[in-house]
Chains A and B, each alone.
Chain A
Amino acid sequence: MLLEIKDLKASINGKQILKGVNLNVNRGEIHAIMGPNGNGKSTLASVIAGKEMFKVDGGQVRYKDKNLFDLNVEERACEGIFLGFQYPVEIPGVSITSFMRAAVNEQRKYKGLDPMDAFAFMKYMEEKQALVGMTDKLANRSVNEGFSGGEKKKNEIFQMAMLQPELAILDETDSGLDIDALRIVAGGVNKLANKDNAIIVITHYQRLLDYIVPDFVHVLADGKIVKTGTKELAKELEEKGYDWLKDHDSGK
């Protein structure tokens, strides 16, 4: 199993957000996590990536048979965890090229590989740029600085292509995208998905799932996964909304 989350509890500033999340993810799977805003979806992603402002209060997360909490943020990244940010951060003065070169080579170093030379790197980058339909012009600009919402998200997918993660968590990658941008982003993700990696798509709306077809759909509400199903569940949620689940839940 690639990722195994058991009874995960986490809080921020003393406020409990995750109240016992259970989730298993295998290689080759695409999972979608849905749910109303403010119920812990992004927190879950941040906790897996290792954001320090969240406090883990209990539970276990095993990733590639290691205790995830023994690894710091960059070690997790080097172990193949990629977080696609909901709000990608702007880093003035740092071009995407040098940013990615630093990241790729750090990750290679972690794996005991020699750094890529400049020529090989440029070639590699061009290849991946083509994959997500990113232009040269964008690559020479500072990371996310002055990017439109769509450009930022495209940049996230490009970075995912560059770093070839084993577990990619895409946090609300669809938010703020028009339909064309959505198609391009989803197309990139589909090209990157394979039998050796797993993807967790966090989304508020069902529409992304028209383009990225999940194997499993989970509903995260009030800090727990309250329902798990197939892609049909997403359709059902689209029609009935989340309240239906709440009633259903409390009715139990």
Chain B
Amino acid sequence: MQKVKTTIQNWVKEAGEQVCACRDRKQGFDAEVNALAARALENILALPESRFDAAGADGLFGEKISLWRETGARDFVERRRPQACPGLPRDFCCDIEGLDVQQVLIYNGCVAGARGKNLLFPEQTAQLGDKPCVCRLSDLEATPSHRAKLAPFFEAAEKGLHTEKKHVSVRSTADFAQGGPDIGREEQKWLNRALSEDTLLIYLPEGCRLEKPLQIVSLNHSEKPVFVATHCWILLEKGASMHLVQCTDSHPQAEVFAEGLVEMRLAADAQLEYIRMQNVGDRCKVFHQLDAHLERASRLVTHFMTLNGGLTQNKVEINLTEPEARADVFGLYLQDKKQQVSNDIKINHTAPRTYSRELFKGVLDDAARAFFKGHVFVHPQALQTEAYQNNRNLLVSPKAQANAKPYLEIYADDVQCNHGVTVGQLDEDALFYMRCRGIPAEAARRLLMRAYADEILKEVGVEALRGWLDSLVRKRFNGQLQACQDCVLACPERTC
């Protein structure tokens, strides 16, 4: 197991050298970022060996899908870090019909675009002022105002590095209700902090409403097994709002292990719709984390669309820290072959009158396996909390498996919480009825499955996006989708 640690150490070293080669400025937040990375690496190296043991029950980064257990520690150490920046496609665009978006490309973890510039307005310098801004953290001057705006992110990261495993055998009742950072989640963040090369920053100033959706395309392509880490900070100031689509795509044959961390903060009244599209080849592994802090009356709507991928894990933690904050977390997973998907959603209600809704639906074919773990935590002060948690699974093949753990941990009495889980099949009566009307069994089945997926799709706020997602889902059910067909990688002749 020492090998895993050595591998991580080597990657960090490599990354350091690459940064030096590819970056031309030394200013900015490098000192802070490097300190965090160094400390994160230390933490990882200090973890007990058993946490890296692929066969052990104590496997790191998840219960059912542990980073090591399911991917295998060997799989991990045999990977390389890609030489990303040199291979960056020059004129890439992801052309989705009828969809007018702003686009940012990340290729194998490397952000494309001019250095030091605001990627939304390439003529402007990157800065967090009165204009929306998308840039690399390394492109940002470390001015006092920038420092102040980013302070909560740095503080949270710092705090996470000091998380210690609680002593489990004796706890006081008050301890129960503490909640606090989840050590398992923090550990996975350490890996990202140690290995991600840069941070993509998305910033909206007060009151700014971005009309066009922003699309971040994470392209992953490598014929050899690689490991890619990406990191993203999203800061929405008071009353700001936007739609964000983040697509993780790969070439159908690629062998990429994509590890990603998105940390977001929504100030009062801010609104964010965040759509996460995961559509990678069967030999790709995706481990994604989302960490959100929602202030007063802000609203976050997320959609986790897992259309394809060998192994996909979404680990989400949403903190509703001020009254009236609201989160809707939707998910759709369509898995077949030997694919595995895990959605692990923790929602911390720590303020009164907060609201959360989770709805995850999946269709599992062949020998696919799905895991759902939801954990709603309600702090004693979070009175009048409403929390709804739902997971629905369709098993359409004898070897498919579904597992669900919908947890409710509640310390306040004036609450309305419920959860429901179902595992079942398509409605036989409906199938029969449709067939009696002349619809062939297969088509009827597909129709029902689409209707089933519709409940998630209809929640997508932007119509054009909804149409696009709908067509992808349709293709997926028709067996036409391996990787995103609109993507330059899947159809090299269609370079635009």
Consider the complex of A and B and state whether they touch directly, i.e. have CB atoms less than 8 Å apart.
Answer: no
Residues of chain A touching chain B, judged by Cβ–Cβ distance below 8 Å, are none
